Amino acid sequence: MSSRLPPNIDVVFKTSTEVQSADMRSGSTSSPSPQCEPAHYTYCIQFRIADETGQDFRVIDHAVKGTSDIWEVTSLTTFKLKMRGGGTSGSLLLSNSKSSELFSVAAGMHNDKPWCDIVVDVPDNALAQLITNSYYESRPGRFSANSDKNETTSSRGTIISLTISDLQWDGERIATVLIRNRGQISTSAPPPD
């Protein structure tokens, strides 16, 4: 299942100086903990990004739905979403520095089950918070997702795959984001089960 921004959505724009990978105001940049800290967070999803295109896709923005949920940025390719309860989610907005192509990956928990979604062909300078909030709006054209696996192709031919693993021993799930060109065979190992 893939999503595209509905035509009736109000897009909030940033200036070019606000869209920088170092400027991620929506999440925490503290050091990661080895576990999900069950006393504090019920669900953790660690996003691992594998860009096989050679096009330098980078996370430029991220957002969460829950007011006490956070993102931990552990590297340029690893982000940990920590949620205090179900019914919440988070989104990462990725940009290609060469072509300005934008897409978003989102994941969350609903009734103890993970869900994920990919939004391709995102307008320039859209905010991750706009995309995250759209999953919770009750209007036609909102984003919706209910799967733990997803793959779609952008209008520019970029293939984005998103898979969420089963619960790991440390209380986390792994969300693998694989970015490749049309016709390109993946060199990444499959995500763990």
- Domain total for the chain? 1
The answer to the question of residue 138 being in a domain is yes
* CATH code, domain carrying 111: 2.60.270.20
| Position 75 in a domain | yes
- pLDDT exceeds cutoff 70 at 174: yes
**Residue 166 located in a structural domain:** yes
Summary mean pLDDT of the chain: 74
Mean pLDDT of the region 128-152 = 74
- Domain assignment of residue 3, yes or no: no
- Asked if residue 127 lies in contact with residue 114, where contact means CB atoms within 8 angstroms, the answer is no
* Domain annotation covers residue 25: no
Structural domain span for residue 150: 43-181
Query: Would you state the pLDDT for residue 173?
Result: 87
- Assigned domain for 189 exists: no
Report how far residue 192's alpha carbon sits from residue 65's, in angstroms, rounded to the nearest whole number.
Answer: 27
Q: Residue 27 domain-assigned?
A: no
**Inside any domain, residue 60:** yes
| pLDDT reading at 16 higher than 50 | no
